[in-house]
C-alpha cells in the first residue's frame, strides 16, 4: 500500500530543526552516590567510636598492604588487563554519569519518521548526521542499508547484546575482587596472629596484637561491602538504563523503516518514558 500523501497529513509538512537540542548532558557529580559513600563511612566511623576504640587503632599499614595489594594481585590474575582498565573507566564514569533525555530523543525519532514518510527511507540519509545520539545515527544508517525488517532487528539486537555483555563484564570484575577481598583479609589476620604468637611471653603485647590482627579482616570486609560490590551493582544499574534507552532506539528505527505513522510511533516509544526523570 502506498504511503499517504502529505496533503492528508498536514503535520508532516513541518520542517525539521537544523540542530536538535542535546540529548545527553554531563552532570557535575552523582550526588546520590556521593551521599551513599558518605553515609557508609560516617556510620562505620560512628559505630567504631561508640565502642570506645580510637580510630587510629584501625590504622594498620601492614593490613592495608596485605588486603589492598592481595586483592589487586588476585584481580590481575582473574581479569585480563584490558577488561580491568575498561572496568576502572566505567567506575570513574559513575561519578560523572551522562543522562539521556528520552523525551527529546523520541521527538527526534519522530522527526525522522515524518521525513521518511515524505521522502521515503532514503530521504533521511542526509539528515542522520545531525543527530546527537551515536546509536540512533547507527540504527538509522542500518535502516537505510537493511534489505528486510528482520535483518535490521537482528543486527541491532546483536549490538545491544554485545554492549550489555561488556557492561556485565565490567561489573563482574569488581564482583570477583569483592569476593576475594574478605578472604585476603583473613589471610592478613592469620599473618598478624602468627606475629602475636612469636611474642607469647608478653601477655599485654599478645592482647593488643590479637586485636590488631583482626583489623585486616575488617579491611577486607569493608573493601568488599562498602566499595567493590556496591560499585558493581551501580554499574549494572547504569547498564540497564542505557540498555532500555537503546531498546527504545531500536523500536524507533524499526518504526521508521516500516513507515509507521508518527502518532502511532510516538505512542509506542512513550512507553519507555518514566514518570520522573530524576531517579
The contacts of residue 40 (CB under 8 Å, 6+ apart) are 226
Q: Are 75 and 173 in contact (CB under 8 A)?
A: yes
Is the pLDDT score of 24 beyond 70? Answer: no
What is the mean pLDDT of the segment spanning 196-223?
77
pLDDT for 205 equals 66
What is the mean pLDDT of the segment spanning 191-209?
73
Is the pLDDT score of 127 beyond 60? Answer: yes
Cβ-count burial 50-87 (b if 16+ within 10 Å, e if not): eeeeeeeebebeebbebbeebbeebbeeebeeeebebb
Greater pLDDT, 59 or 247 = 247
What is the mean pLDDT of the segment spanning 263-269?
91
Is the pLDDT score of 10 beyond 60? Answer: no
Average pLDDT of the chain, as a whole number: 81
In the chain, what percentage of residues exceed pLDDT 70?
84
pLDDT for 75 equals 92
Greater pLDDT, 207 or 183 = 183
How many whole angstroms separate alpha carbon 141 and alpha carbon 135? 10
pLDDT for 157 equals 92
How many whole angstroms separate alpha carbon 130 and alpha carbon 244? 23
What is the mean pLDDT of the segment spanning 193-205?
73
Greater pLDDT, 274 or 93 = 93
Which helix (H) or strand (E) segment holds residue 99: the answer is: strand 98-100
Is the pLDDT score of 228 beyond 60? Answer: yes
What is the mean pLDDT of the segment spanning 122-142?
87
Amino acid at each position: 500500500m502506498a504511503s499517504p500523501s502529505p496533503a492528508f497529513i498536514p503535520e508532516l509538512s513541518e520542517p525539521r530543526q537544523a540542530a536538535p537540542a542535546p540529548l545527553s548532558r554531563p552532570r557535575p557529580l552523582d550526588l546520590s552516590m556521593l551521599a551513599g559513600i558518605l553515609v557508609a563511612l560516617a556510620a562505620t566511623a560512628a559505630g567504631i567510636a561508640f565502642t570506645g576504640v580510637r580510630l587510629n587503632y584501625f590504622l594498620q599499614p601492614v593490613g592495608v598492604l596485605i588486603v589492598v595489594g592481595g586483592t589487586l594481585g588476585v584481580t590481575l590474575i582473574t581479569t585480563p588487563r584490558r577488561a580491568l582498565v575498561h572496568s576502572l573507566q566505567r567506575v570513574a564514569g559513575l561519578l560523572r554519569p551522562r543522562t539521556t533525555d528520552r523525551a527529546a530523543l523520541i521527538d527526534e525519532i519522530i522527526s525522522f519518521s515524518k521525513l521518511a514518510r515524505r521522502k521515503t527511507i532514503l530521504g533521511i540519509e542526509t539528515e542522520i548526521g545531525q543527530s546527537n545520539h551515536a546509536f540512533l545515527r547507527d540504527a538509522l544508517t542500518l535502516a537505510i542499508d537493511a534489505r528486510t525488517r528482520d535483518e535490521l532487528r537482528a543486527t541491532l539486537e546483536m549490538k545491544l547484546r554485545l554492549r550489555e555483555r561488556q557492561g556485565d563484564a565490567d561489573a563482574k570484575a569488581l564482583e570477583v575482587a569483592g569476593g576475594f577481598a574478605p578472604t585476603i583479609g583473613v589471610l592478613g589476620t592469620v599473618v598478624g596472629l602468627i606475629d602475636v604468637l612469636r611474642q607469647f611471653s608478653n601477655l599485654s603485647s599478645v592482647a593488643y596484637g590479637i586485636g590488631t590482627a583482626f583489623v585486616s579482616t575488617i579491611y577486607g570486609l569493608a573493601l568488599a561491602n562498602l566499595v567493590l560490590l556496591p560499585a558493581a551493582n551501580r554499574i549494572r544499574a547504569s547498564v540497564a538504563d542505557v540498555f532500555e534507552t537503546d531498546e527504545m532506539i531500536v523500536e524507533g528505527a524499526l518504526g521508521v523503516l516500516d513507515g509507521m505513522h508518527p502518532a502511532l510511533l510516538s505512542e509506542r516509544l512513550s512507553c519507555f518514558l518514566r514518570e520522573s526523570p530524576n531517579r
